[in-house]
Structure 1
Amino acid sequence: MTTLRSPFTPGDLPRVLVGRVPERTRLRDLLARVTAYGELAGPPVVLHAPRGLGKTSLLRDTEDRARELGFVTAWVACAKGSTMFPELASSVRRALIDAEVLDDRSTRRVLDSIAVEFGLFGISFSSEFGLAAGESAPPAAAISGLERLLHQAAHSVRERGGAGLLVLIDELHAAPYAELAILLNALQNLAGRRAENPLALMTAGLPSTPEMIMRAATFGERSEFISIERFDDDDSRRVLQEPATGLEVSWHPDALAAALAVADGNPYLLQLAGDATWQAAAPVAGDVLELADLQAGEDRMRGQMAAMCRARWDSASELEQSFLAAMADYAQEIVPREHIAHTMGRDTRSISVPRARLIDRGVIEAAGRGRLRFTLPGMAAWVRDHHGG
């Protein structure tokens, strides 16, 4: 019999999206508002979580649902050091052309002119997430240009029988601060004419993104913030079992329990454990993935996890590394802030800066008042093994 290809996709979109029922329901309901009433879905949606918890997968799932409902969708992935607006304008224009909405020359000329404007604005911003010297507010021309782009595009889709326009922005934390302020101001203005704008904006970013948004505009606090958490045990089992069952392969209970322990609810690590086990087993239909298969794939899993831990460690400053070492020194997953300060020989207030920076980059996360944990399961053990006292 032919060996089956692995259905698990570490580092890529999952073939089977499991769980996230409350989040998917909320996003579906917002799309339904646009579909039913032809109006703005509401404030921007902001999915926020450390890396590896499935924010992009959830955005892509929403994009697929939106297309089924008749939306035209435009996708933008922000990159550090790059501007967002030219790519946004280009993505909207491409989406309208692909959907054959831009069949009117005058409409196309309007969108083309706006896209050119975005390339000419020359918006400047500081490295400390502030407007450049001399700028006290986002440029009015940029705000009005973005309003025109989104309104014209959404209106054109609806006018031709579609539901509206869905704009999806991934890695929003990497967007220039000034552009984020312009985006929020433009959406706020469009909300004043809600019934004229069949539009939804859904985004994803690291845990620092909500704070960044609220600093960019005071009304940013009214955004729809949705925190993405680790999977519970039931959904973790489904992540491993459902793709295998679809190919007539099952998990032995011992192997399944061991994989769940390794991943600790992290969607990326669940995919990694599933794929490493599958590659070691090389199953055919009717086979069972055994504990020995998981153990045979451990070297691959350890190598990948070590590379991720090393990258996070190497990107940290000396003070941040001391902070991480103090966290790893604690014997349990949830680490009290007092222990970190004591181990570092500092008071709790003096460790606020490294704490905030590590949370911003998604290396650690809050786990209750005054408590922290690593976002990547297994990193504490890696730090102890490689940088312990």
Structure 2
Amino acid sequence: MDELENPYRPGAGTQPPALIGRDAYIDHFGTLMRRAVQGRPGKSVMPIGLRGVGKTVLLNRFAQIAETEGLSVAFIEAPETGDLRSLLARSLRKILLQFDGRKASAKVLKALRILKSFQLQLPDGSSVSLDFDALAGAGDSGVLSDDLTDLLTAAGEAAQERSTGILIAIDEVQYLTAEELSAAITAIHRTTQLNLPVVLVGAGLPQLPGLAGDAKSYAERLFEFPEIGSLNAEDARDALALPAAVEGVEYSAEAIELLLALTEGYPYFLQEWGYHLWNISNGPTIGIGDVQSAQQQVTSHLDKNFFLVRLDRLTPKEKEYLLAMAQLGKGPHRSGDIAAKLGVKVESVAPRRSGLISKGMIYSPAHGDTAFTVPLFDAFMMRTSI
């Protein structure tokens, strides 16, 4: 079929043609935004889940909703290097200058001057360009939680004056340092107490609730952590069939059933399979023969472009640890069982396990348990180890 008409969109954070199975989260967030602008901010949300389940897609949708409701959005992807102060300074500069462009006011000027103070503490010594004097004694203590609270409070007051709000959306929240996560939670806690229209949303891997709880014990009272997983069978069918139907193409029942087994309902894999099947099929029906013909091609593509890029970041010893997990079968697995598979004591591989958690490759769903953060990674490890 014509590749130009291919409706599927595999990619990192790319919105699929049909955003299936997430309506409840989207509707809830719309209400949250409207309440925030009305001066009634409440619990915000931080979707969590494995790689490829659509967390970033959902976060992007939240940002779109916020903009539709008239809020200004600061969208940040947290780097593993820990640079939240710089990223926030640049994003808030743009928002506050837009406020200032509408109508100069004392509150906007105050927020800009605090931002000037805030950026004096950027870790790399850089600065954001602002033609304002720093406000001494606000945002300049060098203590990130205090400075960020000063900045977001002032920004929230400026937004409130304009009957609007600010959404700070952070992807890959688990990569924030403990200091950064604690500071973000502290600052949002204060703006919520003051009924200011500043909302923090994020998305991250399953370890995020534990990290947030370690950072601040009251995090669970500020955020909900909905778990975003694979799609159920009906939604997975729709994610494949609905975009094709718009173009006059259908799937056979047998093809759908095989695809559900191969993808286990994970949205990213559904998009990859749909994309490749469209390109190789003659249509107008995609049948089980098409799926079987494409299997080697799709598997090879996923191995090179989805799985291998993650494996290449690891040390040989870390790869050995993941292979031992894969050889034990589908997880989660007890840390002791993994160590036994490696023929070593649990204590000796604890640093290796911690390093893999920090790199976002594994997580602990329960004390002493270990599981992959990437769906179907066990099968990939077994393929590459043969």
Q: Per the shorter chain, which TM-score range?
A: 0.7 to 0.9
- SS of the equivalent of 2:42 reads coil
Mapped partners of 2:350, 2:27: distance in 1: 36
- Say if 2:292 is the partner of 1:290: no
Match of 2:132 in 1: none
Mapped partners of 2:86, 2:361: distance in 1: 30
Give a deviation string over 1:238-281, Cα, whole Å, max 9, x none: 21122222222211112222222221122111111111111212
Match of 1:129 in 2: none
Mapped partners of 2:314, 2:289: distance in 1: 36
- Say if 2:214 is the partner of 1:215: yes
CA RMSD of aligned residues (A): 3.2
Query: What amino acid sits opposite 1:166 in the alignment?
Result: L
Change (3 A) 1:379 1:155: same
Match of 1:381 in 2: 379
Checking the alignment, whether the CA contact within 8 Å between 1:207 and 1:360 is kept in structure 2 is no
Mapped partners of 1:378, 1:8: distance in 2: 21
State, as a whole percentage, how many aligned pairs show the same letter. 27
Query: What amino acid sits opposite 2:217 in the alignment?
Result: T
Mapped partners of 1:256, 1:372: distance in 2: 32
Change (3 A) 1:345 1:190: same
Mapped partners of 1:360, 1:212: distance in 2: 11
Match of 1:301 in 2: 298
Match of 2:258 in 1: 258
- SS of the equivalent of 1:206 reads coil
- SS of the equivalent of 2:5 reads coil
- Taking the TM superposition and a 5 Å limit, the aligned residue runs for 1:126-205 are 139=141, 142-162=144-164, 164-194=165-195, 197-205=196-204
Query: What amino acid sits opposite 1:209 in the alignment?
Result: L
- Say if 2:236 is the partner of 1:239: no
Checking the alignment, whether the CA contact within 8 Å between 1:48 and 1:228 is kept in structure 2 is yes
Change (3 A) 1:193 1:109: closer
Any unmatched runs of 5+ in structure 2?
125-139
Checking the alignment, whether the CA contact within 8 Å between 1:72 and 1:96 is kept in structure 2 is no
Query: What amino acid sits opposite 2:200 in the alignment?
Result: L
- Aligned-pair CA distance for 1:84: 1.6
Checking the alignment, whether the CA contact within 8 Å between 1:19 and 1:235 is kept in structure 2 is yes
Match of 2:314 in 1: 316
- SS of the equivalent of 1:248 reads coil
Match of 2:270 in 1: 270
- Aligned-pair CA distance for 1:2: 6.6
- Aligned-pair CA distance for 1:166: 1.6
TM superposition score normalised by structure 1: 0.81
Checking the alignment, whether the CA contact within 8 Å between 2:78 and 2:176 is kept in structure 1 is yes
- SS of the equivalent of 1:265 reads coil
Mapped partners of 1:282, 1:147: distance in 2: 58
> What number of residue pairs does the alignment pair up?
366
- Aligned-pair CA distance for 1:17: 1.2
- Aligned-pair CA distance for 1:193: 1.8
